[in-house]
Structure 1
């Protein structure tokens, strides 16, 4: 089995599944350190996108469920279906014909199958997820939003993960650190977003009083 997976004919398919495994390991490690890779990638993609309404999702992207799933979930689904389809096609050709089909043909079939099953499984998974508003949230709109530290302790140059709810009721998991030097936020503390800087946010302590 290992020799089959490492065969040159299966290089791209094994790589796709390897990336999925690596993302899973990173997500588990991130949760241990108080960072959700799933939330961060999805929010970063949404907040960093500088597109106007005319360049929104195409019908093809909508058919692929790209507008209904978190970006990382969709990517994992695509890589999994592409890799699995390619390995399946090569296994069948090797079993039935004792040889591999042309690499370009198998890759093309795997891409088509990957897109098809991503669309089907993606639509099914999207129906299981909580409904969200279709309006995108920009970084400017999150300024002034109140949230709390979910895991870890936030210090300057050592951000922790915080959870925030935007005006549309959508949750955002962001890396935050104190705006003031020598200040720190512990798990559960309420904080106020002040400014986005690179991959993280600067925040101040929030008081209900």
Structure 2
């Protein structure tokens, strides 16, 4: 079996291997304590199309190492499976199926992991501690429909991506706008309520 993986196309074998190594890294981080590199990556991606994709994939609610692991392992595994099943097709062609599969699996599993991980345990703060903190809308606009994402730093400087909607019905808050958290995410689905910064009065 190991020989079969070693003979797999490099385009899929190395992402699979990298994903497994990320999984080991996440275990080490779990026992050694949190590292800040995830915040640096989030800041680097902020405002970019890739940043929007990672926000959609629950960056901030799920550790970036887990998101990366899911993406890489799924991409590699699907590519290897397809190369074994359809050997007459060029290796690069499997990526057209492997990439969407990786994104879809990461989104579904990420949603489940985000529900299982207590956000206050992850960052050593309670949801109420984010009330009064300012943040920036990273996935929006925010309106009365589906919640968007807001990136907020707590009093310890740790970065959180929270699901939020406007506190006032009918309000629309555009992506990139600065907001202030006015409710501690006690609504169903842990949705926080926010207002445009400076509009509390």
Aligned position for 2:152: 136
Deviation at 1:82, TM superposition (A): 1.0
Q: What is the aligned counterpart of 1:111 among 99, 120, 124?
A: 99
Q: What is the aligned counterpart of 1:82 among 75, 86, 96?
A: 75
CA RMSD of aligned residues (A): 3.6
Specify whether residues 21 and 52 from structure 1 end up closer, same or farther in structure 2 by C-alpha distance, changes over 3 A only: closer
Deviation at 1:78, TM superposition (A): 0.9
List gaps (5 residues or longer) in structure 1: 94-98, 144-165, 169-209
Deviations 1:95-154 (A, max 9, x none): xxxx3411121122111111111111111211212246554328xx548xxxxxxxxxxx
Specify whether residues 29 and 107 from structure 1 end up closer, same or farther in structure 2 by C-alpha distance, changes over 3 A only: same
Deviation at 1:26, TM superposition (A): 4.2
Q: 1:65 touches 1:126 (CA, 8 Å); kept in 2?
A: yes
Distance 1:18 1:167 in 2: 29
SS in 1 for 2:73: helix
Matches within 5 A, 1:9-158: 10-27=9-26, 35-36=32-33, 39-40=34-35, 43-47=36-40, 50=43, 57-58=51-52, 60-93=53-86, 99-131=87-119, 134-137=150-153, 142=156
Distance 1:53 1:26 in 2: 24
Q: 1:46 touches 1:137 (CA, 8 Å); kept in 2?
A: no
Matches within 5 A, 1:151-170: none
Aligned position for 1:2: 2
TM score, norm. by length of structure 1: 0.49
Specify whether residues 18 and 49 from structure 1 end up closer, same or farther in structure 2 by C-alpha distance, changes over 3 A only: closer
SS in 1 for 2:152: coil
List gaps (5 residues or longer) in structure 2: 120-126, 131-149, 161-201
Deviation at 1:48, TM superposition (A): 6.8
TM score, norm. by length of structure 2: 0.51
SS in 1 for 2:59: coil
Distance 1:35 1:108 in 2: 38
Specify whether residues 48 and 110 from structure 1 end up closer, same or farther in structure 2 by C-alpha distance, changes over 3 A only: closer
Distance 2:9 2:97 in 1: 13
Deviation at 1:71, TM superposition (A): 0.8
